[in-house]
Amino acid sequence: MLLCGLAVTLDAGWLRMLDESLLLAVRSAEDPSVPVGPVWAEEFARDLTALGGYTLLILISVSVWAFLRLERSRGEAAWFAATAAGGYLLNFTLKHLVGRPRPDLVKHLSFVDSPSFPSGHAMMTTVIFLAIGLLLCETVSRQAVKTLAIALPLTVATSVSLTRVYLGVHYPSDVFAGICCGLAWTSGCWQIRPINRDESARIQGKPAFKRAT
């Protein structure tokens, strides 16, 4: 609902003014092609933004799927694969349905060749890392560890999102929408995932049924 509302208001004057003012806020007043901060900040941002690049996310996704398939269960592996693949498909569809051009107010400091809304880096970092965090929550009992398993993916997604604005390749509203869409997609997939008898028993803290011998 929030994403739809934001997509509808993309051409609103107040949103464009807010997006542009935030983009300019992280650029030098004398030369908008130069980002604010120390000289190493631009390279740091490029390194951090790579965490949301499709190459790295696909490698992580395949590795997690293989681990789940070999060490956990086919159901968990299938759920993770479907969540990741569905996220990619949803992001691609939304980008081309909305067709928002990339910011042209400042120089791009990272290569881009796709529509701007919603941010793929923001959305897919949220989808992949949050999915991993939710699976980790199923394997631990301490609440502090469960909280960390959810908080860390969201911190990574937010950090990557900020670099997309800093590098001038996304409007702030693009990355905000990406995070929201990633949260909604992964949470929705988690809620409707199939739970087998053994998993249900583990979640409820009861001993799993064993096959009679």
Contact assessment for residue 109 and residue 42, using Cβ atoms and an 8 Å cutoff: yes
Residues 5-21: b if buried by 16+ CB within 10 A, e if exposed: ebbeebeeeeeeeebee
User: Domain-by-domain residue ranges, the chain?
Assistant: 2-198
In the structure encoding, which two tokens stand for residue 90, read together? 């949803």
Strand intervals (E) in 36-122: none
Amino acid at 118: P
Distance separating alpha carbons of residues 187 and 93, to the nearest angstrom: 19
Phi, psi of 22 (to 5 degrees): -70, -35
What local confidence, expressed as pLDDT, does residue 10 receive? 67
pLDDT given for residue 1 in this prediction: 54
Q: Are 3 and 122 in contact (CB under 8 A)?
A: no
pTM of the entire predicted model:
0.86
Q: How far apart, in whole angstroms, are the C-alpha atoms of residue 201 and residue 146?
A: 18
Q: What is the mean pLDDT of each run of 10 residues along the chain (213 residues)?
A: 59 82 92 91 95 94 94 89 97 93 92 92 97 92 92 95 96 95 96 64 44 37
The pair of three-digit structure tokens given for residue 163, joined into one six-digit string = 């670099």
pLDDT digits (tens, 9 = 90+) for 131-178: 999 999 988 889 999 999 999 999 999 999 999 999 999 999 999 999
Picking from 72, 36, 14, the residue whose alpha carbon sits closest to that of residue 162 is 36
